[in-house]
């Protein structure tokens, strides 16, 4: 037979564990909250080219001969723009048409563009070269949505990235957001609390190509409900269950 005291204690313990989300505690960009960490400002560093990056190069010239040689289907004169992508080899170089391999690993896109342009100017005096990344994507998975998304602008922020995937759920763990980032020194995991306002312009603020953002679910979310109506429903159900069991035992 069920012990009434034990049953009552069990239901009381269940109710004590259940609570509503404190939405004030979930807010982003909080100021003057001493319980939150404070992050230092960090200068934005331009992305540096890595092995296996896919580089898109655009060569612009008014030389008709070069235009026909590179793109025979374009028979007209005027400025020509040629676009294709090339993988960065394991030795850190890219191999572009008409010029020898050029080392680019560790350079920013602007620096690499100038190096490639220098080589092309030896053949085409008015050559202008622009490089860009084809693999400008980041990945999100976990409790803030999932998917692979394009980096559509320079200096894409963590908030803009999360908005693209659908933002946080109530149960998302805002205290332990992680960015998995490939660097020259291996894989780095950056873990941070996204709620303080000091996250702006910190080293956690900007998203780089090939970043992986992971948002886990809070463990305590199992015991939480979204609003007081849901909490009241749990209490009512528990009390009803208790009375039914007590009446049945009688």
Give which of 213, 223, 219 is closest to 164, Cα–Cα: 213
The per-residue pLDDT for range 50-63, each reduced to its tens digit, is: 999 999 988 888 87
pLDDT class for 249, splitting at 50, 70, 90? Answer: low
Q: How far is it, in rounded angstroms, from Cα 172 to Cα 164?
A: 16
User: In the chain, where are the structural domains located?
Assistant: 4-20+226-249, 23-47+136-221, 54-133
pLDDT class for 239, splitting at 50, 70, 90? Answer: low
Q: How many C-beta atoms surround the C-beta of residue 30 within 10 A?
A: 17
Q: Does the domain spanning 54-133 belong to CATH 3.30.360.10?
A: no
Options 3.40.1080.10, 3.10.560.10, 3.30.1330.10, 3.50.50.60; CATH for 23-47+136-221 is 3.10.560.10
In eight-state DSSP terms, residue 149 is: E
Length of the chain: 250
In eight-state DSSP terms, residue 160 is: H
Q: Is pLDDT of 204 > 80?
A: yes
> How large is the average pLDDT for residues 60-77?
63
> How large is the average pLDDT for residues 182-202?
93
Give which of 28, 53, 160, 189 is closest to 109, Cα–Cα: 53
3-state secondary structure of 8: helix
pLDDT at 171: 86
Q: How far is it, in rounded angstroms, from Cα 11 to Cα 63?
A: 84
Beta bridge partners of 190: 179
| Helical (H) or strand (E) element with 9 | helix 4-17
Percent of the chain with pLDDT over 90: 50
More reliable by pLDDT, 228 or 101: 101
The structure tokens listed for 145 are: 């949505």
pLDDT at 201: 96
Contact status, residue 55 vs residue 85, Cβ threshold 8 Å:
yes
Q: What is the mean pLDDT of the chain?
A: 81
Q: How many C-beta atoms surround the C-beta of residue 55 within 10 A?
A: 22
> How large is the average pLDDT for residues 197-213?
97
State how beta strands 102-103 and 93-94 pair.
Answer: antiparallel
Of 8-12, 33-37, 165-169, the poorest mean pLDDT is in: 8-12
The per-residue pLDDT for range 157-166, each reduced to its tens digit, is: 999 999 999 8
pLDDT at 218: 84
pLDDT class for 26, splitting at 50, 70, 90? Answer: confident
Q: How far is it, in rounded angstroms, from Cα 143 to Cα 75?
A: 53
Contact status, residue 84 vs residue 56, Cβ threshold 8 Å:
yes
Give which of 209, 234, 163 is closest to 53, Cα–Cα: 209
Q: How far is it, in rounded angstroms, from Cα 96 to Cα 116?
A: 9
Q: Is pLDDT of 17 > 60?
A: no
pLDDT class for 22, splitting at 50, 70, 90? Answer: low
pTM: 0.74
Left, alpha or beta for 235 (phi > 0: left; psi -120 to 50: alpha)? Answer: alpha
| Helical (H) or strand (E) element with 165 | helix 158-165
């Amino acid at each position: 037979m069920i012990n009434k005291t034990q049953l009552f204690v069990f239901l009381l313990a269940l109710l004590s564990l259940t609570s509503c989300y404190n939405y004030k505690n979930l807010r982003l960009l909080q100021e003057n909250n001493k319980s939150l960490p404070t992050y230092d400002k960090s200068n934005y560093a331009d992305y540096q080219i890595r092995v296996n990056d896919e580089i898109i190069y655009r060569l612009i010239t008014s030389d008709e001969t070069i235009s026909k040689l590179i793109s025979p289907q374009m028979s007209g004169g005027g400025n020509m723009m040629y676009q294709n992508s090339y993988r960065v080899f394991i030795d850190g170089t890219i191999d572009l048409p008409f010029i020898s391999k050029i080392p680019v690993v560790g350079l920013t896109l602007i620096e690499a563009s100038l190096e490639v342009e220098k080589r092309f100017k030896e053949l085409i005096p008015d050559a202008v070269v622009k490089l860009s990344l084809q693999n400008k994507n980041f990945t999100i998975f976990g409790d803030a949505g999932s998917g692979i998304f394009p980096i559509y602008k320079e200096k894409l922020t963590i908030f803009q990235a999360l908005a693209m995937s659908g933002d946080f759920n109530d149960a998302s763990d805002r205290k332990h957001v992680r960015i998995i980032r490939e660097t020259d020194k291996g894989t780095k995991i950056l873990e941070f609390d996204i709620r303080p306002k000091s996250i702006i312009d910190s080293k956690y603020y900007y998203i780089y190509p090939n970043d992986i953002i992971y948002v886990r679910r809070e463990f305590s979310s199992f015991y939480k409900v979204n609003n007081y109506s849901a909490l009241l429903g749990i209490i009512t159900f528990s009390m009803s269950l208790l009375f039914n069991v007590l009446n049945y035992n009688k």
